[in-house]
Amino acid sequence: MVSGRQGVVPERRLIFALDVPEPEQAREWVGRLEQQVGFFKVGLELFTAGWWPVVEEIAGRGHGVMLDLKFHDIPETVYRAVRRLRDHGVSLATVHGQESAMLQAAAEAAKGDLQVLAVTVLTSIGEEDLRAAGWAGSAEELVLQRAGKALAAGCAGVVASPREVAALRRQWGEDFLIVTPGIRPAGAAGSDDQQRTATAGAAIAAGADFLVVGRPIRDAADPPAAAAALQQEIAAAL
């Protein structure tokens, strides 16, 4: 269990996103990267392909597991779903951050080493998308609003893009976790489908606790070396 920024193990700040369709591919990636990475994210695609065995196998190798299923339903359903995550080796679990009652139910259901993170605004969403959805403010304003709601509900932290990390720390302090996808290596070109991105060093310097990275490692010519370089960038920013 991690409690606040001071409890984060430096070597586990980098989370590799196992965005692959089959459990065997996930096992290969864990074996290939576990000397450089100590935390892995299992999302919807992989979980529905491998279910609990893939999660428990990663945890059984001594690694942290972020189960990124982004629950969003009525409070009682989310409460029961989060309860099902306990005792499977999951460290971090995600819930969409729109509704206070749902967030409170998720936080109440988490026990032991399981901690709930509220997803604020997906990194694939830009300002134009928010206008189309009826939000008149900025992405940062919406992230801050949802973060405040999540922390008041008892969540351990939030998932937000690196662009909002500094503002989150200014407004809500240090005693919660910030997990940031949308990380790109220094000097990398393009952001794929993620619109609000930053480098690993910039995100850590701004106050992020964990960085979720997939394609920049997976698509590199030498993935272990790419992961090691990110770890060095993280260490330099601490």
- Annotated binding-site residue? 6: no
- Annotated binding-site residue? 19: yes
- Annotated binding-site residue? 215: yes
111 is catalytic: no
Which phi and psi (to 5°) does residue 95 adopt?
A: -135, 140
Residue among 73, 113, 129, 192 flagged as catalytic: 73
- Annotated binding-site residue? 70: yes
- Annotated binding-site residue? 123: yes
- Annotated binding-site residue? 194: yes
26 and 18 in contact (C-beta within 8 Å)? yes
- How many angstroms separate the CA atoms of 234 and 75, rounded? 37
Strand 14-17, strand 177-180: pairing: unpaired
- How many angstroms separate the CA atoms of 23 and 202, rounded? 33
- Annotated binding-site residue? 231: no
Which residue, among 107, 123, 114, 130, has the nearest Cα to 208 in the 3D structure? Answer: 123
- How many angstroms separate the CA atoms of 75 and 86, rounded? 17
- Annotated binding-site residue? 72: yes
- Annotated binding-site residue? 71: yes
70 is catalytic: yes
- How many angstroms separate the CA atoms of 70 and 48, rounded? 13
- Annotated binding-site residue? 145: no
- Annotated binding-site residue? 163: no
Question: Token pair for residue 119?
Answer: 């997803």
- Annotated binding-site residue? 41: yes
- Annotated binding-site residue? 73: yes
192 is catalytic: no
**Cβ atoms < 10 Å from Cβ of 131:** 11
SS3 14: strand
- Annotated binding-site residue? 197: no
Strands (E), the chain: 14-17, 39-43, 64-71, 92-96, 115-119, 157-159, 177-180, 183-184, 198-199, 210-213
Residues marked active site are found at 68, 70, 73
Binding-site residues from annotation: 19, 41, 68-77, 123, 184, 194, 214-215
Binding-site residues from annotation for substrate: 19, 41, 68-77, 123, 184, 194, 214-215
